[in-house]
Amino acid sequence: MRIREKKHKTINRFERLEVFNYALSPAVAPTVGLFWILISIVSFVTAVGVIPAAGPLAYTTCVLFFQYSFVVTEYTSRGHQEVPKISGNLVKPSADSRITKMMVLTTLFVSLCAVSYQYYPAISYLFGLYVFPAALSVLIIKRELIPALNPIEWAHVITSIKLDQRIIQFTLLQVTLILVLLLTFLSFNPLTEMIFSTWIAHEVAIFASIGLLLTYFRLIGVILHSNAEALELPVMLSEETEQRDEEEAAEKERQAFITRVYTEARGRRIKSAFSMLTDRMEAENYQHEAHYFSSVSKWDKPKLTTAMATGYIERLIRAKNYTIALNVLDTALECDDQFVLASGDSVMLLTERADTQQRRRNALNLLSRFPENYPKHPRRAESLLSACRIAAMDLNDFDWAKDKLTFLEAEFPEIHEHPKFAPLKSIVFEH
């Protein structure tokens, strides 16, 4: 696991879990070498006929190996690239009761495979290839032995795992592992005797068997990790957790930035605060503008809020996000009823979408000030006509509409050519 500092926040970086070069990695190779020495000693003691010593030593080595294999699978399934080095504290039963349960589970399956192999070899292979990994997975997920012995739980694990490249790799690895184990440890096999006629060849085979076994348990962990969501397995590291950590770190940094902006604004340094916000948003390509505006609008700093709203609304309109643009406009007008949008086109566009009585009142406010705020805009007359329509038809203020229509005729005689002027004037003055 690599750790990288990002703006004073530690981010746990997820690395793609290694599989086939795992056993030979610098962190794991010494462990492979340790087990290779232990098994070689067991093999030598057995060969020279010291049976009383071979039994306990072989049992201890097997127990230690499968305990550590469980740790490999467990840590890998949680997303850890590196597994702790083997130690007495790591594999002792008191460290994790599941290690003892793992030994019970392994002993049971080895016994079943040994018995079934004599009568039904296919069943033995089935147990070793698929059922044992499923049971081990249940033990890691459920943390209890009884569920790990439940065929229903096995079926759930097997059916929850998606078929992908890892499953193909797992199957090929299993077949390779079985062949190597058979050739390495069944000395009565003529092929074995021919291949391992030298001591060196036999030692190389033992080393390869240990590496393949650790890779086997590593790959089980990788498969569990890649299917963690379907298996409801909590993980410590993954692409999702890394992204979540990054988002949390970025959020904390944004909050710290907002606090600095508030300090400026509270000291009545509005221009400085706005400059900080502008520089930050430009650097972020306005990705978090909504967050900043939401924070600022909650402060009692109307000038800062309206200053932000001006550019924010324009960008929302360009993105055709009219709903949020209307919300921001509502906030700006609450802060300052003389708020002016950056362009007359924006006024016409948003006032056409006024869908509540309050927004219609806001629209009347903006449109009635349109000629004053945008003196060179070609739609000044149309803006006042729209204001009269809203006043009369939506707000029932016919007196205001009459006065403004009279002003409109005098100030903009060309309004008579607009197709909506005559019908509206007729309605207003007949009321």
Q: How far apart are the first and last CA of the chain?
A: 78
Distance CA 37, CA 41 (A): 6
- Average pLDDT score over residue span 156-185: 78
The pLDDT tens digits for 290-309 are 999 999 999 999 999 999 99
pLDDT band at 423 (very low <50, low <70, confident <90, very high): very high
Residue 143 Rama label (left phi>0; alpha psi -120 to 50; beta): left
Distance CA 25, CA 28 (A): 5
Q: Please determine, for residue 348, whether its predicted confidence score (pLDDT) is greater than 90.
A: yes
Distance CA 346, CA 231 (A): 52
- Average pLDDT score over residue span 13-21: 77
Q: Please determine, for residue 4, whether its predicted confidence score (pLDDT) is greater than 60.
A: no
329 & 288 share domain: yes
pLDDT band at 49 (very low <50, low <70, confident <90, very high): low
348 & 422 share domain: yes
332 & 344 share domain: no
327 & 362 share domain: no
- Average pLDDT score over residue span 275-285: 95
133 & 54 share domain: yes
Contact 105, 145 (CB under 8 A): yes
Identify the pLDDT of residue 194: 52
Contact 10, 246 (CB under 8 A): no
Mark which of 295, 313, 336 sits at the end of a domain.
336
Pairwise pLDDT comparison (172 vs 292), residue with the higher score: 292
The pLDDT tens digits for 244-276 are 888 888 889 999 999 999 999 988 899 999 999
Q: Please determine, for residue 184, whether its predicted confidence score (pLDDT) is greater than 80.
A: no
Distance CA 176, CA 138 (A): 24
Pairwise pLDDT comparison (170 vs 57), residue with the higher score: 170
Contact 32, 23 (CB under 8 A): yes
User: Which residue, chain included where needed, has tokens 């739609």?
Assistant: 379
Q: Please determine, for residue 179, whether its predicted confidence score (pLDDT) is greater than 80.
A: no
Mean pLDDT for the chain overall: 84
The pLDDT tens digits for 218-246 are 888 889 988 888 888 888 887 787 888 88
Sort 304 into a burial class: Cβ within 10 Å, 0-12 / 13-18 / 19+.
Answer: buried
251 & 373 share domain: no
108 & 243 share domain: no
163: tokens are 């078929």
Q: Please determine, for residue 159, whether its predicted confidence score (pLDDT) is greater than 70.
A: yes
Distance CA 81, CA 1 (A): 6
Beta bridge partners of 9: 6
Mark which of 336, 368, 387 sits at the end of a domain.
336
119 & 131 share domain: yes
292 & 346 share domain: no
pLDDT band at 191 (very low <50, low <70, confident <90, very high): low
Instruction: Identify which of 82-86, 151-155, 179-183 has the greatest average pLDDT.
Output: 151-155
Contact 11, 4 (CB under 8 A): yes
The pLDDT tens digits for 104-158 are 887 787 777 777 767 777 777 777 777 888 888 888 888 888 888 888 998 888 8
Identify the pLDDT of residue 93: 56
Instruction: Identify which of 16-30, 70-84, 330-344 has the greatest average pLDDT.
Output: 330-344
In one-letter notation, the amino acid at residue 20 is F
Contact 141, 101 (CB under 8 A): no
Q: Which residues contact 57 (CB under 8 A, 6 or more apart)?
A: 38, 41, 42, 45
CA distances from 332 to 295, 299, 348, 371 (A): 14, 13, 17, 20
317 & 377 share domain: no
Instruction: Specify the number of domains making up the chain.
Output: 3
Mark which of 336, 358, 379 sits at the end of a domain.
336
pLDDT band at 186 (very low <50, low <70, confident <90, very high): low
229 & 297 share domain: no
- Average pLDDT score over residue span 373-401: 94
Residue span of the structural domain in which 306 resides: 238-336
Q: Please determine, for residue 377, whether its predicted confidence score (pLDDT) is greater than 70.
A: yes
- Average pLDDT score over residue span 282-296: 94
30 & 151 share domain: yes
16: tokens are 């793609």
Torsion over CA: 371, 377, 381, 382 (sign): negative
Contact 387, 367 (CB under 8 A): yes
Pairwise pLDDT comparison (378 vs 61), residue with the higher score: 378
Contact 216, 181 (CB under 8 A): no
